[in-house]
Amino acid sequence: MVQKSLALVTGANGHLGNNLVRLLIKKGVPVRAAVRNIKNTAPFAGLECEVVQADITNMQSLTTALQGIQTFYAVGAAFKLWAKDPKKEIYDVNIEGTRLQIEAAAQAGVKRIVYVSSIAALNYTKLPTKESNGYNPDRRDMYYNSKNDGEKMAFNLAKKHNIELVAVLPSAMIGSESFAPLNVSYNIINLILKKQIPIETNITLNWIDVKDVAEGCYLAATKGRAGERYILANEQCMSIKETTKIAQELLPELNIKLPTAVPKPILFAIAWLMEIVSKITSKAPLLTNKDIAMFSGLQQNFDISKARTELGFDPKNPVQAVKEAIYYLRENENRL
């Protein structure tokens, strides 16, 4: 399948959305970029694409944006792990956003959807994790719940409306073009460079270059099988400590220290204090008790053979992805 008809990307000023818009333009695909805030023009400077206003929680704006579209990249979502009211600000937004994006696509006559899910929607009880293991049974996090329930809903609605839908499940995206504020994953690299992660949490991340995820989305649109899900990640995860070592070697002049190990009860106490402050300031804490409980020690290793074989997905290795992300952040530190 060759994609040359007009494509819509929601969340087009976000990290993945904007890099996907850039990739599609390079491939000669005409693009309509949908954003919630039409005044935020910086991500589209110099790009030949149509920019329209659309909110994933507003049916009319989505239906208008989807007119004349055959391939729809449903990227837009609330990507955050903390909120004052996580059900309302994260779960409800993502579930309603998913429902409305699929329903609006059906009304507009869209033929094919690439639905951006997340590795949050995978079952980690058996490693390496793969698509066929099913959905995540851990229900402690509203973002994770929204991606699990949202993906299931997307497949069901697409089947109901006879739309071809392929789900892609990216891991922690870093690197390349980005505009403030940085996403949750990319900001961890930034915090390392700013020496703001002094304590070892034993949390790992599966780093992936956002350009590789954008390429994976395009491959899913052109080669993916309808009704299937594809992990867009690397095989091996990396600890924050290992990531910090890479930063140390690349930028010795910053004198970055490795995070110090502390007993888990102290970690929980620090997280508890940070959460108290966040409730007052409404700013996300660097660490929460849920983060420690859910992610400390969790190995995010994946079997990506399905994406490699069926899509031709071939991501750069995570060490290289981290190095390029560090260089990008250093070069753009005054802007981000």
Q: Which tokens sit at 107?
A: 């009304």
Task: Answer whether residue 328 is part of any domain.
Answer: no
CATH code of the domain containing 220: 3.40.50.720
User: Which amino acid would we find at residue 288?
Assistant: T
Inside any domain, residue 278: no
CA distance 298 to 261: 17
Q: Tell me if 56 is assigned to some domain.
A: yes
Residues 128 and 139: their CA atoms lie apart, in Å, by 20
| pLDDT, position 5 | 87
Looking at residue 3, what is its pLDDT?
57
Which pLDDT value is given to residue 142? Answer: 96
Residue with tokens 């070697």: 249
State pLDDT tens for residues 65-120: 999 999 999 999 999 889 999 999 999 999 999 999 999 999 999 999 999 999 99
How many domains, the chain?
1
Quote the pLDDT of residue 55: 95
- pLDDT on residue 13: 94
Is 2 a member of any domain?
no
Specify if 253 maps to a domain: no
CB 217 within 8 A of CB 280: no
Mean pLDDT, contiguous 10-residue spans, the chain (336 residues): 80 96 97 94 94 96 96 95 94 97 97 97 95 96 97 98 98 91 92 94 96 98 98 97 97 95 93 94 92 93 98 97 96 86
CB within 8 A of 42, min separation 6: which ones? 179
Look at residue 320 in the predicted model and tell me its pLDDT: 97
The dihedral through the CA atoms of 200, 121, 143, 112 has a sign that is positive
The pLDDT assigned to 239 comes to: 95
Is 18 within the bounds of a domain?
A: yes
Cα 88 to its chain centre, rounded Å, is 20
Residue 156 lies in a domain: yes
Q: Looking at residue 294, what is its pLDDT?
A: 94
* pLDDT score, position 176: 86
Q: HEC profile for the chain?
A: CCCCCCEEEECCCCHHHHHHHHHHHHCCCCEEEEECCCCCCHHHCCCCCEEEECCCCCHHHHHHHCCCCCEEEECCCCCCCCCCCHHHHHHHHHHHHHHHHHHHHHHHCCCEEEEECCHHHCCCCCCCECHHHCCCCCCCCHHHHHHHHHHHHHHHHHHHCCCEEEEEEECEEECCCCCCCCCHHHHHHHHHHCCCCCEECCEEECEEEHHHHHHHHHHHHHHCCCCCEEEECCCCCEEHHHHHHHHHHHCHHHCCCCCEECCHHHHHHHHHHHHHHHHHHCCCCCCCHHHHHHHECCCCCECCHHHHHHHCCCCCCHHHHHHHHHHHHHHCCCCC
CA dist., res. 35 & res. 174, Å (int): 21
First to last CA, the chain: 38
Q: Which domain holds residue 56?
A: 7-179+207-234+300-316
Name the token pair of 30.
């005409």
Q: Is 33 a member of any domain?
A: yes
